[in-house]
Amino acid sequence: MAKTNSKQPKIVLNNVDILREQILKWLVQNNIGNGCEKQTDISWNIFRSVHENKINKKELQTIIMYINDNEFTLNEGNLWDYLMNYFKKNEKYVSLFKSIFHLTPCGLSTSPNAACGKGELLYRLLRPNSVQPSRGDISDKSIKKELKGNEVRISSNTITGKQYKNITDKLFKGYIEGNTPKTGGLKGKLCFEIEKFQYKIHYEKEFLKISIDKRLELFSELLRQLNIDGDVLNISNSIVEKGFDQKKYQRILLKDWFIKYKRDNFDELIILGNGEDIKIIKDISDLDKLEIYSDFFRINKNASLGWYVK
């Protein structure tokens, strides 16, 4: 009888398999992705960036070991400059992470309504001990961090657009002349969109037509009905003492909404933008770093009020 060869055939991995295996081990090591299916999805996303930047097996291993041995700290400012210094001027490595920065793999999403945001995967790879908490984006040394990209909206957790219109209609009608939108569902109808940039001059003139006592009364009641915390009489005075300070009004709403949003969701808000001007918002004093550039006051809809900031 002929002898059978008990040795199993040797499996030779190609470069794709070798790199994928390295990436999967990297994900497991960093506890990124819950389960094989999600880690497979994330690994293919990273592989594409690795392939596009011509990173070989040795270079990838060097990157992983370097990150494990050298703590990277995310600071405000230009992320790419920090990474260039961190990787000792290695442009190829920085280019890889620029590519990873834009990845939003489904495997990193916690639910269909909680999609992975831009920059989250990059953060998890650069900070190996960070984890994905049950609520929020990232937990790093027990600090909950919320990561945002270019479009950042801070919203009220209690007041919708329709509620806002009802409140302002009842308060201001008969005291000042409102505005009439030229488009949308409220086209041609009287509204009091005192928060909108395009009506700033109009409302500055209108509020000067009534006494400061009446202005104070109206805004104190407005802030109360908008559920703004604090001494609304004193806060209102800062808005109306010279007529109507629209910027002050906007910032008061932003401050209140941020405090309540932060309380329920995170310890730090990290605004990544395109990576060139990162801002870290830890408390209300940090709000001065942010500019309100647009509103989300859909007064014909049941969506929450909000400010877009950068």
Which pTM was predicted?
0.87
In the predicted model, what is the mean pLDDT of residues 10-27?
80
241-286 residue pLDDT tens: 999 999 999 999 999 999 999 987 899 999 999 999 999 999 999 9
What pLDDT sits at residue 114?
A: 60
Residue keyed to tokens 């916690």: 110
CB 161 within 8 A of CB 297: yes
CB 107 within 8 A of CB 39: yes
Backbone angles phi, psi at 147, to 5 degrees: -105, 135
Residue 11's pLDDT band, with cuts at 50, 70 and 90, is very low
* Distances in whole angstroms, Cα of residue 104 to Cα of each of 41, 109, 110, 129: 11, 8, 12, 20
pLDDT over threshold 70, residue 223: yes
Sheet with 279-281, strands from edge to edge, namely 138-140, 143-148, 268-271, 279-281
